[in-house]
Amino acid sequence: MAEKKRKKPSLTYRDAGVDIDAAEQAVSRIKEIASSTFTPSVLKGIGSFGALFLPDLSRFREPVIVSSVDGVGTKLKIAFLTGIHNTVGYDLVAHSANDILCQGALPLFFLDYIAVGKLAPKVIENIVSGIARGCKEVGCSLIGGETAEMPGFYAPGEYDLVGFIVGMVDRPLLITGEKVKEGDLLLGLPSAGLHTNGFSLARKLLFEVKGWKVDTFVPELKRTLAEELLAPHKSYLAPLRELVLSGKINALAHITGGGIPGNLPRVLPPGLSAEIVLGSWEVPPIFTLLAEIGNVPEEEMFRTFNMGLGMILVISPDREEEVRSHIAGYGERCYNVGRIVPGKGGVRYVRG
C-alpha cells in the first residue's frame, strides 16, 4: 500500500516575520496623529499613494523650494536602552527645520521613514507623536511616510528613523552667505547638550570607559544620563523667524555633525574666515565631562560636538542690539562668540 503523502505546512507573511495586522494597526494610529498637524494646504494626507499639498504662493514673488533629509544617528541607541521613544521624532523635525532655516526657508511639510525588525505599534505611535509635536511647533504638516518591517535586518527592539522636510523661501530673502563681509559679528545660540551628534563617541566614553548605565545619576550633570542624553534638539525657528523674513541675518550655520569647524565655513564666501573667541559662551558640563573621561583633545571635541552652540548667526555689527533684543524676547540667550576676518576659509580660535 502506497504511503500517504504528508501535507505541506501552510506559511504566511507573518511566519516570515512580517505582521500585516500590526502594520495596519500602526498606520491607523499614525493617520490620527498626523492629521492633527494638517494645515489648509494639505489636500490628501496619509493613506493615498502620494500626499497632496497645495502651497499658498500669494506672499511669494519668486518661491524657492528648499528640502533636506536627515536622521537622528546613534542617539536612537539611547531610546532603545531607556524605552523612551517619544523624543527622537521631535529631534528629527527640529534638526530638519533648523537646516532649511539656514537658507531662509520656512517648513511646509514633513515625511518620515521608520524601519524596524519587528513592528510594535505602541513604539511607532510614540515615535510619530514626537514627530507630530515637532511639526506643530515649527508649523508644518506631517503628510506621509513609510513604516517598513524588515525581519532579520534590525536587532530586536531597534529601528532606524529618517525625516524629509520641504520648505519655501522667497528668492529675495534666500540666505546664501553672499552678504557676509569682513567685520560681521558671530552670535551663538546655546544648544541643549549633544542634540543629535557625537553620540557614538559619547556612548563609548560614558558606557564603555566609565561603565555607567542610562539610569546612572551623574552629579556633574545634576541628572541621570538618560535625561542628559535624551535632551531635545532645540528648534531655533521661533526666535529667528522674523529676523530671517526681514533680511537681518547675513548667514546662519546649524552646528551639527562636524561641529563649528565643519559647519560655519559652509556659509563663508571666498577670502573670509571665522574667528571664534574661546570662553565667550557657557559650555554645558556634559562636554567638559566627556573631554575628561577620554582625555579628548580640544580640537577633537570641537570637530565632534557642538560644544554648547546649536546655531551661529552672522550679522552686521550695527544690528547687534536689535537682534539680541529680539532673541531675548523669546527667552533665548545669545552670545557674541567671534567675528568674520580675512582668510582662506575655515575657523581659527583665539582665547578670550
Contact between residue 338 and residue 267 where contact means Cβ atoms under 8 Å apart: no
Burial class of residue 134, CB neighbours in 10 A (0-12, 13-18, 19+) = buried
Q: Taking the model in full, what pTM does it have?
A: 0.92
The label of the residue with cell 519655501 reads 168
Confidence (pLDDT) at 18:
60
Secondary structure tally for the chain: helices H, strands E: 11, 14
Which amino acid is it at 111?
A: L
Nearest to 290 by CA among 224, 191, 202, 198: 202
Show the cell assigned to 80: 532603545
Nearest to 121 by CA among 16, 214, 219, 28: 28
The label of the residue with cell 552667505 reads 177
SS3 category, 172 = helix
For residue range 12-65, list pLDDT tens digits in order. 556 566 666 666 776 777 888 988 999 999 997 777 788 899 999 998 999 999
- What is the rounded CA–CA span in Å between residue 222 and residue 224? 7
Q: Vertex 195, ends 346 and 144: CA angle to 5°?
A: 110
Which residues, 6 or more positions from 274, have their beta carbon under 8 angstroms from its beta carbon? Answer: 186, 260, 264, 265, 268, 338, 339, 340, 341, 346, 347, 348
Show the cell assigned to 79: 531610546
Q: Vertex 149, ends 144 and 153: CA angle to 5°?
A: 130
Which residues, 6 or more positions from 208, have their beta carbon under 8 angstroms from its beta carbon? Answer: none
Q: Which domains does the chain have, with CATH numbers?
A: 17-51+59-173 (3.30.1330.10), 185-351 (3.90.650.10)
Q: Which residues of the chain have pLDDT under 70?
A: 1-23, 26
User: Strands, DSSP E only, in 72-213?
Assistant: 106-116, 141-149, 159-170, 185-190
Across-strand partners of 71? 162
Contact between residue 273 and residue 186 where contact means Cβ atoms under 8 Å apart: no
Nearest to 104 by CA among 147, 168, 57: 168
Q: In angstroms, how far is the first alpha carbon of the chain from the final one?
A: 97
Confidence (pLDDT) at 20:
63
Which residues, 6 or more positions from 100, have their beta carbon under 8 angstroms from its beta carbon? Answer: 66, 67, 68, 106, 107, 165, 167
Confidence (pLDDT) at 345:
87
Confidence (pLDDT) at 15:
59
DSSP secondary-structure letter at 266?
A: G
